[in-house]
Structure 1
Amino acid sequence: MSETERVARAAEPLSKLLRTLTPDQLTAPTPCAEFDVRALLNHLLFWGPSLIGAARKESVAPPATAESEVDLTAGDWPAALDTQLADLATAWRDPEAWQGTTHMGGPTELPAALVGGMVVGELIVHGWDLARALGTTADWDDDLLLYAFDETTATADQGRAMGIYGPEIPVAADAPLLDRILGLTGRDPAGR
């Protein structure tokens, strides 16, 4: 699998889900306790420009407004987020995006490949969150999930220390890769 296609492949199932979303589903709960569907979409829209900027080696600070203040009432939110996902995939298709160092919404320099891995994980985990909220599934290929599992394993302790991930949920070592990724991030794949 080419690293330049990883973000696009991670975004595709999420993009498909957006096309099925209806306004009455915005208040549906997600497996992430702090997000209903509206808050999850706000989160993705809020951080998307910083993740695109990271691929371009541009330090793009998050908007000055609070994450919860992204306006989803105009009716164009699915298209806006879908466009943002396409822009994100395009930015990370550039081989240079994966080289050297970059910033992710702040002054700290990070290895670009690490940030790319975080973006892939973010899209998979939040894609799963949205699928669960909508009562459906989202599927990623095993090569991408293996990559995301390795990346999540490498950064899980740091993610928990930063409050990005919850406490690890034990998952069997032979469970599907997606379930093991979810467990590392503090999500129960069984939805308990």
Structure 2
Amino acid sequence: MTDLQPLLRGAADEFLRVARGIGPAQLSAPTPCTEYDVRALLNHLLYWGPWLEAAVRKEETPSMEGGERAADLVHDDWQAALTTRVHGLLEAFASPGAFDGTAGGMPAEMVASMILMEWVVHGWDLASATGQTLHCDDETAGVLLVAAKAMAEQGRAHGIFKDEVPVARDAPALARVLAVTGRPPEWCVANVT
């Protein structure tokens, strides 16, 4: 079993670095996550943050009435709010027993993998949309590739993943993760380091 704690911390740092590089004029830019532009993707991350943190802390999760599309969470202080959310999740994962049992009705380790995927894959989406590069080390990408394949069928059934797209077998692990999640093929091999 891989220790996800250092991978989460590294992915969080890189995700926040990308977020700090997003300017106001880029909020309407399209992303490889085709149903979201930059603003909507940031809204998605801000919306689900409190639920995920409560789940990891094994507390009662907040009601998500209204849905993320009705929420408008990207204001002038969105970067500070996103930083608070990410740091809150890191603190939750630093708590004893955070990776044990269940979190929000799912295995806690699966939730950790999902959050790692959110930070890396959506971080890459944001980086690609705003002319940046997201760096993902081989260990993290390898863990995510295993997790993405394990989640793929359920992810597609719930509309979270699209159909897998073809990439070369020797493509970098991050490119293969992106392909499993169904990112458009022309994006999957761009901006991958």
User: Structures share a fold, TM > 0.5?
Assistant: yes
1:161 aligns with 2:162: no
Q: Which residue does the alignment assign to 2:28? A: 27
Q: Which residue does the alignment assign to 2:52? A: 51
> Taking structure 1 as reference, are residues 148 and 31 closer, same or farther at Cα in structure 2, changes over 3 Å only?
same
Q: Which residue does the alignment assign to 1:181? A: 177
- AA at the equivalent of 1:91: A
Superposition map of 1:110-189 within 5 A? 110-188=106-184
Residue 57 of structure 1: how far off its partner (Å): 1.1
Q: Which residue does the alignment assign to 1:106? A: none
- AA at the equivalent of 2:11: A
Q: Match of 2:97, SS?
A: helix
Q: Match of 2:106, SS?
A: strand
Q: Is the 8 A contact 2:127 2:133 kept in 1?
A: yes
**What do you get for the CA RMSD once the two structures are aligned?**
1.7
Q: Is the 8 A contact 2:12 2:86 kept in 1?
A: yes
Q: Percent identity?
A: 45
> Taking structure 1 as reference, are residues 140 and 67 closer, same or farther at Cα in structure 2, changes over 3 Å only?
same
Q: Which residue does the alignment assign to 1:7? A: 8
- AA at the equivalent of 1:58: E
Aligned equivalents of 1:120 and 1:153: distance in 2?
14
> Taking structure 1 as reference, are residues 62 and 170 closer, same or farther at Cα in structure 2, changes over 3 Å only?
farther
Q: Is the 8 A contact 2:164 2:180 kept in 1?
A: yes
Q: Is the 8 A contact 2:55 2:61 kept in 1?
A: yes
Q: Match of 1:153, SS?
A: helix
Q: Which residues of structure 1 form unaligned runs of 5+?
A: 104-108
Aligned equivalents of 2:157 and 2:78: distance in 1?
32
1:79 aligns with 2:75: no
> Taking structure 1 as reference, are residues 4 and 94 closer, same or farther at Cα in structure 2, changes over 3 Å only?
farther
Aligned equivalents of 1:73 and 1:150: distance in 2?
32
Q: Is the 8 A contact 1:160 1:166 kept in 2?
A: yes
Q: Is the deviation greater in 91-100 or in 34-43?
A: 91-100
1:191 aligns with 2:187: yes
Aligned equivalents of 2:66 and 2:58: distance in 1?
23
> Taking structure 1 as reference, are residues 6 and 95 closer, same or farther at Cα in structure 2, changes over 3 Å only?
farther
TM-score, normalised by the number of residues in structure 2: 0.89
**Count of aligned pairs:** 187
Q: Is the deviation greater in 61-70 or in 144-153?
A: 61-70
Q: Match of 2:98, SS?
A: helix
